[in-house]
Amino acid sequence: MSNLDPVLSHIDENLSAATERLFELMRVPSISTDPTFKEHCDAAADWLVSDLASMGVTATKRATPGHPMVVGHTNGTGKHVTFYGHYDVQPVDPLDLWHSDPFAPALEDTDVGKVIRGRGAADDKGQLMTFVEACRAWITVHGSLPINVSFFFEGEEESGSPSLIPFMRENKDELSSDLALICDTGMFDPKTPAISTQLRGLLGEELTITGPRIDLHSGMYGGAAINPIRVLSKIIASLHDAEGRVTVPGFYEGVPEMSPELQKQWEDLNFDDAAFLNAVGLSELAGEQGKTALEMLWARPTCEVNGINAGYTGDGFKTVLPSKASAKISFRLVGTQDPHAIRAAFRQMVQDALPADCSVEFKGHGNSSAVQMSTADPAFEKARLALSDEWPNPAAFVGCGGSIPIAGHFKTELDTDAMLIGFGRDDDAIHSPNEKYDLESFHKGMRSWARVLDALSL
Ligand SMILES: [Zn+2]
């Protein structure tokens, strides 16, 4: 018999005790953004320290200028991983939309099975505890973990993580390991687990084009004077070519081609492009020709106009030629695209397109590079196969169209790749009233981590 089987059995037999421990943590109203809950955040950190200690993990609460961090070590042998989760939760208002007390967690029967109801059920207490419980099961059954595990819990994730990067820098040696494991994401669908391995970066630009010194009357000056709205529109229209590709010079430098394996994995996900679009009243893909929706969302960069401001936009009508026209434009980046180079190329492109009587001012907004995990590390394929053993459908390496800052911080601050494995579902209502976590997610989540720990030891 393998080492894994008795661990899985232990998890199955102790599901209700594990659920009760999660409830204990969920009863602590650790809302990080509201200072009146400060001592509760502290109490949640204390709870985690003593829970880890009860498993034989050396754990400490670490003060920061904000809410404390919890760090624990097992001093095991073999591959060393650092597991990250966050114990803080979102505020609960509007409270009257909750059907039950958000901090009185309970199991609830629903049409689709039992769910754990309450704030933090899915984000992130329930997810965090899937990993802790998997470790507890390993330690209870075998006396130790199959690999060396460190724990790193944050209490400010829902309020912008102000202490995170300074803490990572100050404790770089202690937090560094071979691989970070993060449980704060979702499954691809309820039958298909996912490991997020590529997260897009983001670059923001705001430009304001000035033509005439003052607003002009379109009867007195129209036809003779330059209109900055026309200039801005022309520039915006020129940002994509007829095939939907972005025209900023050098934009596609660093955009990787997809490997045939990844292409196959994404095809096998059978993502329904039509349903995805129909859900928001659309019927055809608007990105680069020849790409699927998943490729457009996960693997390809974008340029989008997020806002335009110019001229008279109030009620009624005003025949004005405005002095200024501005727009906010964002780029989602992939691979090794360089946000600084793209910003410079975009600004040059705009400058080159300006008529003599116009000038432009730029304001840069945040920029972050894409995060691409090195899936050539065999740990990724081992974990993918381990997850595939637990769930009905095989697991896939997926992308994430948005950003998950913690994964980027592990990479930039600790030079560690992160494996993002989560068991959330789209209908978990995280950040909303009546948050839930399916009992199946919790149960199979624990089993999944038990399998991943085993796979990483081989
Ligand atoms: Zn979260």
Ligand 1 centroid to Cα of residue 94, in Å, is 19
Q: Is the dihedral of CA 444, 452, 9, 123 positive or negative?
A: negative
Ligand 1 centroid to Cα of residue 129, in Å, is 13
Task: Write the DSSP string, 261-328.
Answer: HHHHHHHHTT--HHHHHHTTT--S--SSTT--HHIIIIIS-EEEEEEEEES--SSS---EE-SEEEEE
Ligand 1 centroid to Cα of residue 124, in Å, is 5
Residue 216 β-bridge partners: 321
Does residue 94 have a cis bond before it (omega within 30 degrees)?
yes
Residue ranges of alpha helices (H) inside 304-396 are 339-353, 378-390
Query: Residues near 22 by Cβ (< 8 Å), separated by ≥ 6?
Result: 105, 116, 125, 126, 129, 442
Residue 321 β-bridge partners: 216
Ligand 1 centroid to Cα of residue 406, in Å, is 10
The number of residues making up the chain comes to 458
Q: Give which of 16, 11, 139, 19 is closest to 447, Cα–Cα.
A: 11
Ligand 1 centroid to Cα of residue 157, in Å, is 7
pTM comes to 0.91
Distance of alpha carbon 339 from alpha carbon 336, whole angstroms = 9
Residue 1: per-residue pLDDT: 61
Distance of alpha carbon 358 from alpha carbon 416, whole angstroms = 47
pLDDT tens over the chain, length 458 residues: 689 999 999 999 999 999 999 999 999 999 999 999 999 999 999 999 999 999 999 999 999 999 999 999 998 899 999 999 999 999 999 999 999 999 999 999 999 899 999 999 999 999 999 999 999 999 999 999 999 999 999 999 999 999 999 999 999 999 999 999 999 999 999 999 999 999 999 999 999 999 999 999 999 999 999 999 999 999 999 999 999 999 999 999 999 999 999 999 999 999 999 999 999 999 999 999 999 999 999 999 999 999 999 999 999 999 999 999 999 999 999 999 999 999 999 999 999 999 999 999 999 998 889 999 999 999 999 999 999 999 999 999 999 887 788 999 999 999 999 999 999 999 999 999 999 999 999 999 999 999 999 999 99
Residue 252: per-residue pLDDT: 98
Ligand 1 centroid to Cα of residue 132, in Å, is 16
Ligand 1 centroid to Cα of residue 416, in Å, is 20
Ligand 1 centroid to Cα of residue 225, in Å, is 53
Residue 104: per-residue pLDDT: 98
Residue 312: per-residue pLDDT: 96
Ligand 1 centroid to Cα of residue 201, in Å, is 19
Ligand 1 centroid to Cα of residue 440, in Å, is 19
Distance of alpha carbon 334 from alpha carbon 231, whole angstroms = 29
Residue 401: per-residue pLDDT: 83
CB-count exposure of residue 424 (10 Å: 0-12, 13-18, 19+):
buried
Does residue 417 have a cis bond before it (omega within 30 degrees)?
no
Ligand 1 centroid to Cα of residue 123, in Å, is 5
Residue 403: per-residue pLDDT: 75
Ligand 1 centroid to Cα of residue 283, in Å, is 32
Ligand 1 centroid to Cα of residue 361, in Å, is 37
Ligand 1 centroid to Cα of residue 86, in Å, is 7
Range 238-254 burial, b when 16+ CB lie within 10 A, else e: ebbeeebbbebeebeeb
Ligand 1 centroid to Cα of residue 117, in Å, is 16
Q: Compute the chain's Rg from CA coordinates.
A: 25
Distance of alpha carbon 301 from alpha carbon 280, whole angstroms = 22
